[in-house]
Amino acid sequence: MTFARDQWYVAAFSNEVGRDLLARTVLGEPLVFYRTESGAAVALADRCVHRRYPLSESRLDGDTVVCGYHGFTYDPSGACVFVPGQQRIPRTARVAAYPVVEQDTLVWVWIGDRDRADASTIPRAPWLGDPRYTTVRGMAPLDARYSLLVDNLMDLSHETYLHGGYIGTPEVANTPITTEVDEDRGVVYVSRHMDDAECPPFYARSTGIQGRITRWQDIEYHPPCLYVLHSRIAPQGVYPPAEGDDDQAFHAEIVYAITPSTAHTTYDFWAVARDFAVDDESVSEYLYQSNHTVVMQDVTALNILERVITGEPERYQELSINIDTGGLAARRLLARMVESSTVEAPR
């Protein structure tokens, strides 16, 4: 399996990175994250050059990381600034430092060629930091390759079967989708519009809607990492009153950052931002617990699928149908990215 390295990936939520050292592995690269005393986020290779001791198991001294094994000390640029027992610091005594950008409460890291790291190409999720929205969030590690999570999120028909009783209803699987691909921007759009649908508990309990609903699911996938589901619901028959007018709808912006850790493990960062009941803590708690359950149902299913695929390579051939058009388009764009920066994924 190969990764698209010359791309931005989410390594953490902003509130995870602080004055405690945080270990994350992204695209097979062990990293350590922390904040300088001025608040800037730093990402360094998580291995001391001396005996490969993890810097994440070490300590901060001001803005420097002091290796917890033999005391080699590194500044935010990755340069070694102290070696125990001698004045001379070897020329090669440095660890890699990686470009980091904080945007929309997400910490993005660039693993590839530094000269190609353009922060303006990072896709946006502005609702996560918008005071008009309230957001719940979490992260679930998968013991499965990241492409399986991409497939999962691009085809929401599985909600009917895997997430019944939470977010799925019969209409999700039974409603046809439309798929568009913006080849220039490299974005896949998948839409499912349900004019008369059952209201799942996820929305019935959080919005108070009783009875049937109009429900729209509009997906944007910005490969390789960012996925946004624009979810809009309203009581059936009142939405939308006019084309483009959805003032009577409840809006939930459901964001996933899909970050490969290794060839067979993935970080599943998720967030649900809403523009309703923004001050109601009970709604926040319900949506957090409900979405966490949904995510863990996906984790369980994808971990099973990873074991099947790994244990039975090339034994079965996939069959794709109409609902897979978005996922197949995503695969094609990901393959194009991999071709432009091909490096074997560490196992």
Q: Which of 256, 166, 174 is nearest to 220 (CA)?
A: 256
Q: Which of 149, 138, 287 is nearest to 207 (CA)?
A: 287
Using the predicted structure, report yes or no on whether residue 7 has a pLDDT greater than 90: yes
**Which tokens in the block code for residue 284?**
């926040």
Please enumerate in sequence order all residues whose Cβ is within 8 A of that of 335, keeping only pairs 6 or more positions apart, or say none. Answer: none
pLDDT at residue 316, as a whole number: 79
Cα separation, 144 vs 137, in Å, equals 21
Is the distance from CB of 141 to CB of 303 less than 8 angstroms? no
pLDDT at residue 184, as a whole number: 93
Average pLDDT, the chain: 94
Tell me what the mean pLDDT of segment 283-312 comes to.
97
Tell me what the mean pLDDT of segment 319-327 comes to.
94
- Taking phi over 0 as left and psi of -120 to 50 as alpha, with beta for the rest, 140 belongs to beta
- Categorize the per-residue pLDDT at 244 as very low, low, confident or very high, splitting at 50, 70 and 90: low
What beta strand segments (E) does 62-104 contain? 64-66, 73-74, 80-82, 100-103
- Categorize the per-residue pLDDT at 239 as very low, low, confident or very high, splitting at 50, 70 and 90: low
Residue 127: Cβ within 10 Å count: 24
pLDDT at residue 1, as a whole number: 62
Cα separation, 284 vs 273, in Å, equals 10
- Categorize the per-residue pLDDT at 66 as very low, low, confident or very high, splitting at 50, 70 and 90: very high
Return the SS3 of 112.
coil
Helices (H), 132-280: 146-154, 158-162, 170-174, 201-207
- Categorize the per-residue pLDDT at 279 as very low, low, confident or very high, splitting at 50, 70 and 90: very high
String of DSSP letters for 6-56? SSEEEEEEGGG-SSS-EEEEETTEEEEEEE-TTS-EEEEESS-TTT---GG
**One-letter amino acid identity for 269?**
F
Using the predicted structure, report yes or no on whether residue 255 has a pLDDT greater than 80: yes
Using the predicted structure, report yes or no on whether residue 265 has a pLDDT greater than 50: yes
Tell me what the mean pLDDT of segment 35-40 comes to.
98
What beta strand segments (E) does 156-280 contain? 178-182, 187-197, 213-222, 226-235, 250-262, 265-274
Question: For the ranges 113-127, 161-175, 249-263, 303-317, which has the lowest average pLDDT?
Answer: 303-317
Asked if residue 240 has a cis previous peptide bond (ω within 30° of 0), the answer is yes
Tell me what the mean pLDDT of segment 73-77 comes to.
98
- Report the C-alpha dihedral over residues 109, 112, 114, 117, rounded to 10 degrees: -60
pLDDT at residue 347, as a whole number: 47
Which residue is associated with the tokens 């990293």? 31
In the chain, % of residues over pLDDT 70: 96
pLDDT at residue 246, as a whole number: 76
> Counting Cβ atoms within 10 Å, is residue 91 exposed (0-12), middle (13-18) or buried (19+)?
exposed
Return the SS3 of 303.
helix
Using the predicted structure, report yes or no on whether residue 341 has a pLDDT greater than 80: no
pLDDT at residue 129, as a whole number: 96
Q: What is the pTM of this model?
A: 0.94
In the chain, the domains with their CATH numbers are: 2-120 (2.102.10.10), 126-344 (3.90.380.10)
**Which tokens in the block code for residue 49?**
């050059």
Q: Which of 103, 100, 75, 156 is nearest to 324 (CA)?
A: 156
Q: Residue 142 is inside which H or E element, if any?
A: strand 134-142
pLDDT at residue 2, as a whole number: 82
Tell me what the mean pLDDT of segment 281-292 comes to.
98
Using the predicted structure, report yes or no on whether residue 343 has a pLDDT greater than 80: no
- Categorize the per-residue pLDDT at 346 as very low, low, confident or very high, splitting at 50, 70 and 90: very low
> Counting Cβ atoms within 10 Å, is residue 71 exposed (0-12), middle (13-18) or buried (19+)?
middle
